[in-house]
Amino acid sequence: MVGAGQAGLGIGFALRRAGIGRAAVIDAAAPGEAGSWMTTARMHTLRTPKSWPQPEYGHSELSFRAWYEGLHGQAAYDVVENIPRTVWAQYVAWFGSTVNVPVRHHTRLVGVAPASDHLVLRLAVTGTDGHVDERVETTRKLVLATGVEGTGGPALPPYFRALPAELAAHTGDRIDFTRLAGRSVAVLGAGASALDAAAVALEAGAREAHVFTRRAELLVHGPSRNIGRNVGAKENFHRRTDADRWRAQVLAARAGRSCTQESMTRASAFPGFRVHLSAPWRHARAEGGKVRVDTADGSHVFDFVVAGTGYQYDPRTRPELADIAPHIALWRDRYEPPAELAHEKLACFPYLGPGYELIAKEAAGFVGRIHVFSAATSLSFGIPAGDAQSLATGIPRLVDALSRDLYFEDQDSTAAPGSSGAPAELGSAVEGAVAGGGAWVEVQGAGADE
Picking from 8-12, 256-260, 318-322, which range would have the lowest pLDDT averaged per residue? 256-260
Average pLDDT over residues 418-433: 36
First to last CA, the chain: 19
The reply to whether 412 and 291 lie within a common domain is no
Of 190, 159, 161, 189, nearest to 283 (Cα)? 159
pLDDT band with cut points at 50, 70 and 90 for residue 261: confident
Residue 150 has pLDDT above 90, yes or no: yes
Other Cβ atoms within 10 Å of 60 Cβ, number: 9
The reply to whether 212 and 297 lie within a common domain is yes
The reply to whether 406 and 341 lie within a common domain is yes
Q: How far apart are CA 252 and CA 236, in angstroms?
A: 18
Average pLDDT over residues 148-159: 96
Q: How far apart are CA 213 and CA 216, in angstroms?
A: 8
pLDDT value at position 148?
95
Picking from 172-176, 207-211, 434-438, 442-446, which range would have the lowest pLDDT averaged per residue? 434-438
The reply to whether 301 and 320 lie within a common domain is no
**Backbone φ/ψ region at 318: left (φ over 0), alpha (ψ -120 to 50), beta:** beta
State which of 266, 284, 307 marks the end of a domain: 307
Other Cβ atoms within 10 Å of 433 Cβ, number: 18
- Count the domains in the chain: 2
pLDDT band with cut points at 50, 70 and 90 for residue 256: confident
Domain of residue 180 covers 158-220+258-307
Question: Which positions ≥6 away from 247 have C-beta within 8 Å?
Answer: 337, 341
Residue 144 has pLDDT above 90, yes or no: yes
pLDDT band with cut points at 50, 70 and 90 for residue 74: very high
The reply to whether 266 and 171 lie within a common domain is yes
The reply to whether 25 and 75 lie within a common domain is yes
The reply to whether 301 and 401 lie within a common domain is no
In a domain, 450, yes or no: no
In a domain, 318, yes or no: yes
**Backbone φ/ψ region at 428: left (φ over 0), alpha (ψ -120 to 50), beta:** alpha
Average pLDDT over residues 128-132: 93
Residue 86 has pLDDT above 80, yes or no: yes
pLDDT value at position 52?
84
List C-alpha distances in Å: 177 to 40, 156, 203: 12, 20, 9
State which of 307, 326, 341 marks the end of a domain: 307
Q: Tens digits of per-residue pLDDT, 351-375?
A: 999 999 999 998 778 999 999 999 9
pLDDT value at position 224?
52
**Inter-residue contact 406 to 20 (CB < 8 Å):** yes
The reply to whether 264 and 326 lie within a common domain is no
H or E element, residue 111: strand 107-114
DSSP secondary structure string, 40-78?
Answer: T---SB-SS-TTS--TTTT-GGGSHHHHHHHHH-HHHHH
pLDDT value at position 227?
61
Q: What share of the chain is helix, strand, coil (3-state, %, to 5)?
A: 35, 20, 40
The reply to whether 107 and 137 lie within a common domain is yes
User: 351: which DSSP letter?
Assistant: P
Q: Tens digits of per-residue pLDDT, 8-40?
A: 999 999 999 999 988 999 999 999 899 999 999
Percent of the chain whose predicted confidence (pLDDT) is above 90 = 78
Q: Tens digits of per-residue pLDDT, 378-392?
A: 999 999 999 888 999
The reply to whether 80 and 185 lie within a common domain is no
Residue 53 has pLDDT above 60, yes or no: yes
DSSP secondary structure string, 391-448?
Answer: HHHHHHHHHHHHHHHHHHHHHTSSSPTT--PPPGGGGGGGTTPPSS-S--EEEEEPPP
List C-alpha distances in Å: 121 to 1, 102, 118, 256: 11, 19, 10, 37
In a domain, 215, yes or no: yes
Q: How far apart are CA 156 and CA 121, in angstroms?
A: 29
Q: Is the torsion defined by CA of 177, 179, 180, 185 positive or negative?
A: negative
Residue type, 108: R
The reply to whether 99 and 164 lie within a common domain is no
Q: Which residues pair with 380 in a beta bridge?
A: none
Percent of the chain whose predicted confidence (pLDDT) is above 70 = 90
Residue 247 has pLDDT above 80, yes or no: yes
The reply to whether 285 and 422 lie within a common domain is no
In a domain, 123, yes or no: yes
Angle at 237 between CA 250 and CA 330, to 5 degrees: 55
Residue 448 has pLDDT above 70, yes or no: no
Q: What are the φ/ψ torsions at residue 319 (nearest 5 degrees)?
A: -55, -40
Q: Tens digits of per-residue pLDDT, 185-204?
A: 999 999 999 999 999 999 99
Average pLDDT over residues 251-274: 89
Q: Tens digits of per-residue pLDDT, 267-317?
A: 999 999 999 999 999 999 999 999 999 999 999 999 999 999 999 999 999
Q: Give the CATH number, domain containing residue 188.
A: 3.50.50.60
State which of 268, 292, 307 marks the end of a domain: 307
Label residues 264-300 b or e (16+ Cβ within 10 Å = b). Answer: bebbbebebbbbbeebebeebeeeeebbebebeeeeb
Average pLDDT over residues 130-150: 96
For β-strands 311-312 and 208-212, DSSP reports them as unpaired
pLDDT band with cut points at 50, 70 and 90 for residue 226: low
Q: Whole-number mean pLDDT of the chain?
A: 89
In a domain, 327, yes or no: yes
Residue type, 424: A
